[in-house]
Amino acid sequence: MLFESFLSIRYLKAKRKQTFISVITVISIAGIAVGVMALIVVLSVMNGFRADLMSKILGMNSHLFVLSHGGPFTNYRETLDKVRAVDGVTASTPFIYSQVMVNHMGTASGAVLWGIDPQSAGEVIDIKKIIKSGAFISLEEKQGEHPAIIIGKELANRIGAGKGNVLTVISPQGKLTPIGRAPNNRQYLVTALFDSGYYEYDANMAFISLAEAQDLLGLENQVIGLQVNLKNLNATEKAGALIEKNLGFPFYTRDWKEMNRSLVEALLWEQIAMWVILAMIVLVAGLNIINTLVMVVLEKHREIAILRTMGAAKKSIMAIFVLQGLIVGLVGTFLGLLSGLGICASIARFKFIHLPADVYYIATLPVKVDWFEVLLITAASLTISLLATLYPAWRAAQLNPVEALRYE
């Protein structure tokens, strides 16, 4: 073992009259460990929430939307074929959406009505998986004298409707009359309820067949746009550019990030803020390392002077205290990693932290460990520990042995 390593470890072991220095060393190790543990646990929980929320959003939305500057368009079947021929596209389906009013037994509520193609919509959105009562296939069949409608669980609770009930849909884009376009209303039979786990969708969305939506909204053979799914979720910009090039004007594309820009940006800035706040814990522990090493240098000035007179170089003296600080950083980081990953594994496996389902719509705390973030946290912790050693180590190397031994 090099003498620098031997002395750095030796100086960590306090003598009886240097117990206070040892206590500060333990506090520094604990501070780094707590900081690293907090970063791993909090960021993993945030990643879990983000992944869960994104899965709910993408379960009800496609990766890419194809729209027209001219509004609804008619040649959507030809457009579908062109879109499906683009490299990276896995599925596509036409859609119509409109703001409507739904009414059941005198209780009314606003909603977003989606007209979808029952044959191809299931390849793009996960509506089949979230149907909790009834069947998605019911959209293809007329239920007696009333066409079928599928509504969200929260919307059903709001208007007091359930499976088998008849409700009225009132559309502002109604039929054309001699005095202009008048609101249209039609009765529908609730054949299924869905529960996506995302309140905004469950409380505001309803689905009917594409043909029925065209008839209700007076769109004849038109659609609002196309929903498109891709092989690579993060390749929306490239795929969008290819689709726009193939289709030409007046078509344009918008991806899921643009459609949910405020939510995506809020999650990103929240994560950055957590990084900064929790990194302060590690930074405070780094300041404790500086404090510890400065006190050790003051306490060991005689030993440092003797080492210098025996021929130890300045860089060797500096290496002793750099290694001492790094050992503190390594031990604290290792303990933080061990405890942080252990807590995450325990939360994921045993699910002992329960959340109120009526508030969060998830029963337990979600956890997703991002190993790149773990490596980044480890690197940040060790870097702070290294930087904290430089000034005290430099001061120790500059100690004049003559001055240190003059009064000894």
User: Which has the closest alpha carbon to 39: 384, 355, 376?
Assistant: 376
Domain identity same for 45 and 74 = no
**What pLDDT is stored for residue 289 in this prediction?**
83
Domain identity same for 290 and 145 = no
Domain identity same for 166 and 272 = no
- Number of structural domains found in the chain: 2
Where does the pLDDT of residue 402 fall: very low under 50, low under 70, confident under 90, or very high at 90 and above? low
Running DSSP on this structure, what letter comes out for residue 311?
A: T
Where does the pLDDT of residue 1 fall: very low under 50, low under 70, confident under 90, or very high at 90 and above? very low
Domain identity same for 81 and 170 = yes
Q: At which of 224, 256, 288 does a domain end?
A: 256
Please state the rounded mean pLDDT for residues 50-67: 87
Domain identity same for 127 and 69 = yes
Domain identity same for 42 and 178 = no
Average pLDDT, the chain: 85
pTM: 0.76
Domain identity same for 220 and 87 = yes
Q: At which of 231, 256, 281 does a domain end?
A: 256
Domain identity same for 394 and 349 = yes
Expressed in angstroms, the distance from the first to the final Cα of the chain is 30
**What pLDDT is stored for residue 400 in this prediction?**
76
Least confident of 53-67, 202-216, 353-367: 353-367
Domain identity same for 273 and 234 = no
Where does the pLDDT of residue 374 fall: very low under 50, low under 70, confident under 90, or very high at 90 and above? very high
Q: At which of 205, 222, 256 does a domain end?
A: 256
Residue scoring higher pLDDT (36 or 407): 36
pLDDT digits (tens, 9 = 90+) for 205-230: 999 999 999 988 888 889 999 999 99
Domain identity same for 368 and 328 = yes
pLDDT digits (tens, 9 = 90+) for 69-125: 998 998 899 999 999 999 999 999 999 999 999 999 989 999 999 999 998 998 899
- Rounded Cα distance between 298 and 92, Å, is 72
On the question of pLDDT at 12 being above 60, the answer is yes
**Exposed / middle / buried, residue 208 (Cβ in 10 Å: 0-12, 13-18, 19+):** buried
Domain span at 233? 62-256
Domain identity same for 50 and 107 = no
CB 226 within 8 A of CB 31: no
Q: Token digits for 302?
A: 């005689």
Domain identity same for 365 and 243 = no
